[in-house]
Amino acid sequence: MISDRRKALIEKYRAGSLERIGRVSLALASAEHEAIPAAKLQELKREVHTLKGESTMLGFQAVAEIAHAAENAIEKNIALATVVDALDVVARYLRGDLGDEGEASLAMTRDLLRSSAGVEVPDGESRETPAATFEPRSPDEPPQERWVRVSAERVDAVCEQVTDFDSTFRALYFRLREAARTGDGKLRALSSDFERCQASLDEITSAAWALRLVPIEPVLVDLVAHAREIATSQGKRVRMDARGGDVQIERTVLDVLAEPLLHLVRNAIDHGIELPEERGAKGDARLVVSGETVGGSVLIAVSDDGRGIDPDRVRKAVLERGMLSDTTLGAMSDVEIVDLVFWHGLSTRADVTDLSGRGVGLDVVRATVEALGGTASVSSVVGKGTTFHLRVPAAITKERTLVVESRGALFGFPSRSVAALVRLSDHEVSAIAGGQALRIGDVAIPLRSLGAFLGEPGAHEPWAVVLDGDHQKWAFSIAKPLGDFPLLRRPIDRLLPTMSASATLADGRLVMILSVAALVRRARHGTEAHVATGQSRALRVLVIDDSAVVRDLMEEILRQSGFDVQVADGGDEALSILARDRPDVVTLDVDMPGMTGFEVLGHIRARHGDLPVVMLTLRASSEDKARATALGADAYVVKTQFQEGSLLEAIRRVAKVVP
């Protein structure tokens, strides 16, 4: 009995093969009276070669043999008319038009084409019925799933059109409901009709967006194949496994995850798995790449049984780079220490191989996943192995969102991350070290103010939203919940802190969707910055950038982290400020009109000696980094790889701040 999965695979093969045969036949038939260019023949040969390979893999041996003979004829540029006729027979067979005579027709066609193309029959070739056939359906059997090939761009275009119409319809419906409240009976009846149309439109929109879902398993299989090549090149013996099952994920999400997943696989082979002589009794290594559906999310894991991550080596690396103090590290658990591998610029490797020196770093892996509204975490045991977990939403373009109001603006929490919404007056709130805790039942949950994080400390916040953070729940007090809505997410500038997307309500109001992972991490590690000497005043930072948006963003990030901030829109204003008062740190944009960042840096070094300077730029070339270093820059942060933690880390490091 053929499985449903194999039936679907065969139907997909059928659709792709018919499309391929159509292209080849059309090209050969249209060139009947003129010579076909060599390049075109090669293209047609590749098409037929693919048909042969897919047919062989699925057990359609007679079709594969016809494709082999056709490939031979095309290569020799002979019997092309016979090739067209043979492919027509194959097409009719794939469509089920040949009935019980299908296999006999294939055999006859194969022999005729072989004869015309001069293809020799391999010794001992079976003349039996093909291993796989298209089983005739009974009249009562429902039709099998059919497949067609459509470009991803066309699917995206349809989804966008449907969604735009959905937004327009919702706005119109909102206006109609407002008008119906005046008491007009006809408008109320029309409003009911609109509700029925809205329900139908919701179904259409969901069906359209479902077209963007793709299986995750083929991508995992490709990752394993890539890992196998790397292991072979390094002389490492690794047993590979990919487990995706029937997990589906939005193609947009999978496209974004491609590079981070590739880095994790490379990292596992290059950093995690030992050479055979190092493994000793452990034997062959094992690498597993898996995906599973968990609620509305997909959990992807890259797991190896290699050397693991040593917390002591991580501590040493952090101390050597001045990222955290010995006191701070001493208060952290091994789990928290290992999590520091996601910090920008941290590596426990003394050597940098050709492999580990390429691509993105673990900090970018986490930043990319969090930009999707997901989380990235790691667990490791020394000598036993490491597992990286990426938890991402199965679909990001449209998802349910809890919308709340704060500071007169609207913010959203992805509903899949919301554990509860409560009134603070209904629960006990107590003071704890570092802040407050909300007690729900027997559980004490750390409580922070969303208004304070957004720049409005002391705001009236009678509600709290409880979020599922990594390994722990966190609560954030809010001013007012508006409700749970299905929203279409739109991408936003990656520089915006703790924000992952934007959306629009039916009435046109903008909603900024929060990154739960980034928000929780800021709550967990948010401490005021002070200079290493123990002075109580806040560290003073001068931000120099010609972009007003970037200046405002930097000022917000730094002030919320406890810094005293001044801003300058260019070199002239900056040098004027520096002539009056010396800050503790300068952040400096490279690409500015008038005086460039490099020129400003030269003036700073000439007049202010060892004043710490962090360069912030769009340019990531090694030449620019070398020039900045030569001029005396203390750190170099690339805007396209920017995340809030990397900036704060760089400032604290160059100023020798003890968190």
Could you give the CA distance from residue 205 to residue 196 in angstroms, rounded to a whole number?
A: 14
Please give the pLDDT value at position 356: 42
C-beta of residue 139 within 8 angstroms of C-beta of residue 119: no
For residue 215, give the DSSP letter.
E
- Whether residue 484 contacts residue 393, with contact meaning beta carbons closer than 8 Å, is answered with no
In this predicted structure, the answer to whether residue 658 has a pLDDT above a threshold of 50 is no
Average pLDDT, the chain: 78
pLDDT of residue 355: 38
Cα 36-42-48 angle, rounded to 5 deg? 105
Task: Evaluate if residue 657 carries a pLDDT over 60.
Answer: no
Model pLDDT, residue 359: 36
> pLDDT for 138-197, tens place per residue?
445 454 455 556 667 777 778 777 777 877 777 777 777 777 776 666 676 777 777 777
Residue by residue, DSSP assigns 451-469 as HHHTT-TT----EEEEEEE
More confident residue, 582 or 344: 582
- Structure confidence at residue 659 (pLDDT): 44
pLDDT of residue 417: 86
* 575 phi/psi in degrees, rounded to 5: -65, -30
In the chain, what is the straight-line distance between the N-terminal and C-terminal CA atoms, in Å? 65
Digit-coded pLDDT (tens) for 550-588: 777 777 778 777 788 889 988 888 888 888 888 889 998
Reference 618, options 543, 540, 547, 518; nearest CA is 547
Task: Say whether 103 sits in a helix, a strand or coil.
Answer: helix
91: which residues sit within 8 A by CB, 6+ positions away?
18, 21, 22, 25
Give the pLDDT mean for 513-523: 81
DSSP 8-state secondary structure symbol assigned to residue 282:
G
Residue 200's pLDDT band, with cuts at 50, 70 and 90, is confident
pLDDT(650) > 50 = yes
Whether 132 shows a pLDDT value over 70: the answer reads no
Which amino acid makes up residue 104?
A
Examine the pLDDT at 348 and tell me if it is beyond 80.
no
How is residue 400 written in tokens? 């349910």
CA distance 357 to 118: 52
Are 511 and 504 in contact by the 8 Å Cβ rule? The answer is: yes
Residue type, 381: V
Q: Give pLDDT, residue 330.
A: 82
Phi, psi of 587 (to 5 degrees): -105, 135
Bridging pattern class, strands 443-449 and 435-440:
antiparallel
For residues 408-428, average pLDDT: 89
Give me the amino acid identity at 488: L
Answer for the pair 420, 466: CB distance below 8 angstroms, yes or no.
Answer: yes
CA dist 520 → 287, 453, 523 (Å): 31, 11, 5
Q: How far apart are CA 404 and CA 513, in angstroms?
A: 10
Instruction: List, in sequence order, every residue forming a beta bridge with 587; answer none if it has no partner.
Output: 543, 614
Q: What's residue 619's pLDDT?
A: 65
Ordered DSSP codes for 317-358 = HHHHTTSS-HHHHHTS-HHHHHHGGGSTT----SS--TTTTS
Helix (DSSP H) and strand (DSSP E) numbers for the chain: 21, 23
Residue 33 has pLDDT above 80, yes or no: no
Check pLDDT > 90 for residue 133.
no
Of the pLDDT bands very low, low, confident and very high (cuts 50, 70, 90), residue 491 is low
Hey, which of 44-58, 94-108, 301-315 has the most confident mean pLDDT?
Answer: 301-315
Query: Residue 128: its pLDDT value, please?
Result: 45
Q: Is residue 191 a contact partner of residue 177, using CB atoms and an 8 Å limit? A: yes
Tell me which of 12-26, 121-135, 237-251, 534-548 is least confident: 121-135
How many angstroms separate the CA atoms of 408 and 373, rounded? Answer: 24
Q: Tell me phi and psi for residue 442, to 5 degrees.
A: -100, 5
Q: Give the per-residue pLDDT at 543.
A: 92
Measured distance CA(101)–CA(95) in Å, rounded: 13
What pLDDT, on the 0 to 100 scale, is given for residue 336? 85
Burial class (CB in 10 A: 0-12, 13-18, 19+), 604: buried
Close Cβ partners of 562 (under 8 Å, ≥ 6 residues apart): 527, 528, 529, 530, 538, 539
> What is the structure's pLDDT at 527?
37
Distance CA 242, CA 625 (A): 39
For a pLDDT cut of 90, what percent of the chain falls above it? 13
Q: Residue 473's closest CA among 504, 499, 501, 448?
A: 448
pLDDT at 353: 41
Confidence bin at 1 (pLDDT 50/70/90): very low
Beta bridge partners of 293: 298
Measure the CA–CA gap between 247 and 391, rounded to whole angstroms. 13
Quick one: 334 exposed, middle or buried, by C-beta within 10 A (0-12, 13-18, 19+)?
middle
